């Protein structure tokens, strides 16, 4: 395909007007589905689907972030994607500067978002609960891709911020995990300058609540440990709820230590231990 969506650098139109002009919108993600202030679109052009993310309307003052801050985060997302080629990240095809800021043109990802709000999270038919009921080898395979991605991101200097199940799309039909919305990841280490940082408390390390604390790979290790607890267990650290083996359980407990000194020192160390504990598990 050689359509202008994939090759133009700028437009003087608003994002939605431009997208409606060149294709067919089949989805809009605005304040009705999220509270970031961003507006994203599903657009079909020449029988091919794309996901286009924008910073939303500059006049919208309801978000906790200003339009300028949202634009900055989208540029950050571009830097992250261009620094890492892992297959778990959707392909970024183009960045178009519009009247309302950058338009990030990604592949459209099929599947279901694992995020569920507190009212629906425990419902048996939620995507999260259905994922938790999958055969253990299938969950381990999905986790492997998440951890492998974060190893590559760590090697490129990125620290996880605001990662949770809302960043995970799983295609139950083809058993494929994709990772999205890493806009707030930071090049680090860095100092927590805000106290409680952005994110879901179900995934956050203690230092993400402490102003002046260091945020580094050990923080990402904690987040990956909490990912295990939320996807391969019921969100707790109880052994009775954990569906994996003893080796993986011991790694979970170490990764989720409140004391930073007791955690794995890096994502590389964490992932190596996880792989060693899981030899044969993916085919078991």
**Region 161-181 average pLDDT:** 97
Q: What is the pLDDT of residue 146?
A: 98
pLDDT at 280 over 80: no
| CA distances in angstroms from 110 to 61, 73, 127, 220, listed in the order given | 32, 24, 13, 27
User: What would the pLDDT profile of 1-36 be if each residue is shown by its tens digit?
Assistant: 568 899 999 999 999 999 999 999 999 998 766 778
Domain 112-277: give its CATH architecture.
Orthogonal Bundle (1.10)
**Region 166-175 average pLDDT:** 97
CA atoms within 13 A on the CB side of 105: 24
3-state secondary structure of 235: coil
Domain covering 11-107 in this structure, CATH number: 3.30.200.20
**Region 62-69 average pLDDT:** 88
Rounded to 10 deg, the angle between the 267-277 and 246-255 helix axes is 160
> What burial class does residue 35 get, using C-beta atoms within 10 Å of its C-beta: 0-12 exposed, 13-18 middle, 19+ buried?
exposed
Domain boundaries, the chain: 11-107, 112-277
| Per-chain mean pLDDT for the chain | 94
- 181 CB contacts (<8 Å, ≥6 apart)? 162, 166, 167
Fold match between domain 11-107 and domain 112-277: no
């Amino acid at each position: 395909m050689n359509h202008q969506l994939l090759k133009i650098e700028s437009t003087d139109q608003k994002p939605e007007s431009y997208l409606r002009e060149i294709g067919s919108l089949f989805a809009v993600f605005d304040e009705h589905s999220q509270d970031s202030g961003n507006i994203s679109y599903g657009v079909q052009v020449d029988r091919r689907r794309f996901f286009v993310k924008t910073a939303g309307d500059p006049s919208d003052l309801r978000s906790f972030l200003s339009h300028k801050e949202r634009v900055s985060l989208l540029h950050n997302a571009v830097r992250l994607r261009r620094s890492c080629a892992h297959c778990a990240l959707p392909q970024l095809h183009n960045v178009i500067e519009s009247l309302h800021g950058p338009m990030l043109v990604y592949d459209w990802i099929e599947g279901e978002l694992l995020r569920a709000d507190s009212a629906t999270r425990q419902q048996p038919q939620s995507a999260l609960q259905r994922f938790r009921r999958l055969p253990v080898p299938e969950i381990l395979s999905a986790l492997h891709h998440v951890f492998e991605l974060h190893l590559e991101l760590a090697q490129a200097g990125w620290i996880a911020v605001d990662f949770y199940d809302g960043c995970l799309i799983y295609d139950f039909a083809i058993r494929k995990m994709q990772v999205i919305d890493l806009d707030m990841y930071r090049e680090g280490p860095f100092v927590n300058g805000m106290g409680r940082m952005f994110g879901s408390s179900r995934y956050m390390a203690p230092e993400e609540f402490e102003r002046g604390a260091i945020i580094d790979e050990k923080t990402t290790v904690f987040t990956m440990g909490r990912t295990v607890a939320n996807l391969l267990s019921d969100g707790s650290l109880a052994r009775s709820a954990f569906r994996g083996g003893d080796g993986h359980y011991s790694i979970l407990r170490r990764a989720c230590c409140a004391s930073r000194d007791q955690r794995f020192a890096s994502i590389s160390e964490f992932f190596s231990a996880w792989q060693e504990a899981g030899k044969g598990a993916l085919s078991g």
